[in-house]
């Protein structure tokens, strides 16, 4: 990982025309830069943005007070589409983990790999739910992605590949449907506007006039979407 003075950052260079700096959900700093920029030129921009970076990192620390440490014990609540469902440990059932009668039911034999089972559950549900939301909004926006994937994106809620494939973190399925829709619209908009310029936000605003409320929810509650 590159380091400039006291700032560690992830660097991705592409054919984009402008440089952007983001604070990721895990608190890391990401820099998206044109291939033509040298390391020295990139670091000059980081230096100019130093105050902004540290103010955003402080803001991130405040927002991450909502992070919840969950244990895989009976009665613990786990989010799914904006609701919390308590965990029930069962002796036997047909699948390792399922949502049944208002509970997340986890087979006792899979307790040691519960985190993987929750990830698998949300990934499978995402493959069922997300394509429908993408199809709905792509018709409205007149945009056609080349594919949809649900996976572990580590530090992103979603991303847009250079070939037009939309990638969604399985944790998106923990958020309310209104927030999932914002994430979908956000990534579809990137197919037309790769950067977060005014045209990008104008398009998002046209589709979701209340998008700022959804962004606020995600910023304030996103850290709590963990297993």
Query: Could you give the CA distance from residue 166 to residue 168 in angstroms, rounded to a whole number?
Result: 7
In a domain, 157, yes or no: yes
- pLDDT at residue 64 tops 70: no
Domain harbouring 135, CATH code: 3.30.2010.10
Residue that finishes a domain, picked among 45, 66, 87: 66
3-state secondary structure of 169: strand
The CA angle 8-13-14, to the nearest 5 degrees, is 160
Which band of pLDDT confidence, cut at 50, 70 and 90, is reported for residue 99?
Answer: very high
Long-range contacts for 111-120 (Cβ within 8 Å, ≥24 apart)? 111/72, 114/72, 114/227, 115/72, 115/227, 118/78, 118/227, 119/152, 119/170, 119/227, 120/96
214 & 128 share domain: yes
Domain, as residue range, for 131: 114-224
Mean pLDDT of the chain: 91
Task: Establish if 149 belongs to a structural domain.
Answer: yes
| Structural domain includes residue 58 | yes
What's the number of domains the chain is made of? 2
Residues 6+ away with beta carbon under 8 Å from 69:
none
122, part of any domain = yes
Tell me if 79 is assigned to some domain: no
Q: What is the pLDDT of residues 5-63, one digit of tens each?
A: 889 999 999 988 889 998 887 788 999 999 999 999 999 999 999 989 988 887 777 66
46 shares its domain with 132: no
- The residue from 48, 66, 84 where one domain ends is 66
pTM for the full model? 0.75
- DSSP, collapsed to helix, strand or coil, labels residue 186 as helix
């Amino acid at each position: 990982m590159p380091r400039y003075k006291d700032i560690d950052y992830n660097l991705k260079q592409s054919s984009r025309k402008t440089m952007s700096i983001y604070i990721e959900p895990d608190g890391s700093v990401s820099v998206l830069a044109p291939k033509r920029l040298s390391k020295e030129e990139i670091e000059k921009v980081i230096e100019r943005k130093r105050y902004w970076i540290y103010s955003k990192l402080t803001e991130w620390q405040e927002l991450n007070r909502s992070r919840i440490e969950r244990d895989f014990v009976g009665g613990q609540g786990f989010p799914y589409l904006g609701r919390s469902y308590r965990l029930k440990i069962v002796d036997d059932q047909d699948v390792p983990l399922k949502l049944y009668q208002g509970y997340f039911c986890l087979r006792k034999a899979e307790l040691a790999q519960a985190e993987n089972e929750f990830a698998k559950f949300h990934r499978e549900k995402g493959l069922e739910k997300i394509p429908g939301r993408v199809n709905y909004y792509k018709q409205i926006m007149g945009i056609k992605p080349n594919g949809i994937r649900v996976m572990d994106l580590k530090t992103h809620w979603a991303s847009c590949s250079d070939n037009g494939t939309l990638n969604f973190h399985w944790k998106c399925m923990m958020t309310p449907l209104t927030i999932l829709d914002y994430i979908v619209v956000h990534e579809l908009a990137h197919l037309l506007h790769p950067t977060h310029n005014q045209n990008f936000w104008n398009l998002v605003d046209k589709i979701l006039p209340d998008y700022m409320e959804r962004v606020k929810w995600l910023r304030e509650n996103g850290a709590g979407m963990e297993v």
